[in-house]
Structure 1
Amino acid sequence: MAFDKKLLDIIACPVCKGKLEYNKDKQQLICKVDRLVYAINDGIPVLLENKAEPLEQES
């Protein structure tokens, strides 16, 4: 199941309320402000702070 990109206009980071970026390859939503990564499971974003992973350093 694919993630509905229209949701990006509606949803926000639960920590800072900022915009999230969609990573299609990894099926993740990324908050660059808080450096957190939220998983997308079966097309549903898991926007829980305690389930977020830290954003890996990009090289």
Structure 2
Amino acid sequence: MIDSKLLSILVCPVSKAPLDYNEQNQELVCKASGLAYPIRDGIPVMLENEARQLSAEEKLG
């Protein structure tokens, strides 16, 4: 679980857009940039080179 206050201030380092929390995958998702940032040991890893590309289906959904 990620703190709601932390989520409200974090933005995507690429697009500067807000992030959505995906609890199932433990990721912070940015649809604007098409990237998902992992959360490891409760800490968001906000590095572009650590993020994964969203699939076309994920971008739409």
- TM-score tier, shorter chain, comes to 0.7 to 0.9
**Length-normalised TM-score, structure 2:** 0.85
Task: For residue 11 of structure 1, report the CA deviation from its aligned partner.
Answer: 0.7
Q: Which has the higher helix share?
A: 2
Letter of the 1:34 counterpart: S
Q: How many correspondences in the alignment?
A: 58
**Length-normalised TM-score, structure 1:** 0.87
Structure 1 alignment gaps of length 5 or more = none
3-state SS of paired residue (1:9): helix
Structure 2 alignment gaps of length 5 or more = none
Letter of the 1:32 counterpart: K
The structure, 1 or 2, with the larger RCO (C-alpha pairs under 8 Å, 6+ apart) is 1
